[in-house]
Amino acid sequence: MIPYLILISLLVPANLWASITPHLHSDLSMRLLHGVSTVVLLPPLLSMWRQRQQIQRLPALLLTSFSLVLIVVNTHIAAVGMGVRYGWIDHLFLAIACLAVLAFYLLNDEEDPIQETSIS
pLDDT tens for residues 49-84? 888 788 777 878 888 888 899 899 888 888 877 677
User: Per-residue pLDDT for 48 more than 60?
Assistant: yes
Residue 110: pLDDT band by 50, 70, 90 thresholds? low
CB neighbour burial string for 59-94, b if at least 16 within 10 angstroms, e if fewer: ebeebeeebeebbebbeebbeeeeebeebbebbbbb
pLDDT value for 13: 92
Which tens digit of pLDDT belongs to each residue from 7-37?
889 999 988 988 888 667 777 888 888 888 8
pLDDT of residue 63: 82
